[in-house]
Amino acid sequence: MPIGKRAVAEFIGTFWLVFGGCGSAVLAAGVPNVGIGYVGVALAFGLTVLTMAFAIGHISGCHLNPAVSVGLLVGKRFPAADLIPYVIAQVLGGIAGAGILYLIASGNASFSLAGGFAANGYGAHSPQGYTMAAGLVAEIVLTFMFLMIILGATDKRAPAGFAPIAIGLALTLIHLIGIPVTNLSVNPARSTGPAVFVGGWAIAQLWLFWVAPIVGAALAGLVYPAIAGEADKGK
């Protein structure tokens, strides 16, 4: 599949992840009073990946996340030449998803970016006041586990056809753990989209949501082949 078509698929998929996941948080969560709450937001993120894995997995591999692309690269499942086009497409898709969400949310007179717009943060901007150190550890560990599941579920030795379900449920689970800590990123593109619109503190803290997921993903890319044997060659 040509890199252009795969990049477009990554753009669309990441758009859906940010629009669907962050959209559920901004428009429907109602934390802590009414609405779908943390559980609903976690499920929404999982469903975006599950649905896109079936829709575009056969086109681009459905990374939707620069950290996933890096983890697959380190794990020798993804060619280095394709990394930059994938990351650019993912980040642009994340910004586009946040942009459409902003247009919709702005249609309500009570909407304000001061509410956070589902941006990731730590310290005063953590949903439950967790420190930068706590956020760093959470993002590294949860991204590591997410990539371990992705690498295992997509291994050619794993049961065929179930990878999207395992990966979608994994993203749901790590959101259930991490939303109170940082609003959960594990995905630099997802973090960048809302941060562009919030500006200020969200941009200042964005470094953590690039560094930690990439570190966690790269570690998984090293650990999985070490325990599972020679990595399969992916797309």
Count of CB atoms within 10 A of residue 31's CB?
Answer: 15
Yes or no: say if 93 and 13 are a contact pair by the CB < 8 Å rule.
yes
Largest Cα separation within the chain, whole Å, is 56
- Does residue 132 sit within a domain? yes
Cα separation, 105 vs 99, whole angstroms? 10
**Does residue 235 lie in a domain region?**
no
As a whole number of angstroms, the distance between CA 173 and CA 178 comes to 9
112 backbone φψ class: left, alpha, beta (φ>0; ψ -120 to 50): beta
Does the residue 234 lie in any domain? no
Q: Quick check: 97 pLDDT over 90?
A: yes
Range of the domain at 56: 3-109+117-228
pLDDT of 34 higher than 90: no
pLDDT range class, residue 33, cuts 50, 70, 90: low
Q: How confident is the model at residue 229 (pLDDT cuts 50, 70, 90)?
A: confident
Give the tens place of pLDDT for each residue, 163-185.
Answer: 999 999 999 999 999 999 999 99
The per-residue pLDDT for 88 is 98
**What is the distance between the terminal CA atoms of the chain, rounded to a whole angstrom?**
9
pLDDT confidence of residue 1: 87
pLDDT of res. 234: 45
Confidence of residue 31 (pLDDT cuts 50, 70, 90): low
HEC assignment per residue over 192-205 = HHHHHHHCCHHHHC
Mean pLDDT across the stretch 90-107?
97
* Domain count across the chain: 1
Tell me if 34 is assigned to some domain: yes
Is 104 within the bounds of a domain? yes
Report the CATH number that the domain containing residue 40 is assigned in CATH.
Answer: 1.20.1080.10
233 assigned to some structural domain: no
State percent of the chain over pLDDT 70: 95
Assess whether pLDDT exceeds 70 at residue 122: yes
pLDDT of residue 233: 47
Give yes or no for a contact between 122 and 129, defined as CB atoms under 8 angstroms apart.
no
Cα–Cα distance for residue pair 215/74, rounded to 1 Å: 11
Q: Provide mean pLDDT across the span 6-17.
A: 98
Residues 130-139, mean pLDDT to the nearest whole number:
98
- The pLDDT value recorded for residue 221 is 97
Q: How confident is the model at residue 161 (pLDDT cuts 50, 70, 90)?
A: confident
Segment 183-222, tens digit of pLDDT: 999 999 999 999 999 999 999 999 999 999 999 999 999 9
Residue 176 resides in a domain: yes
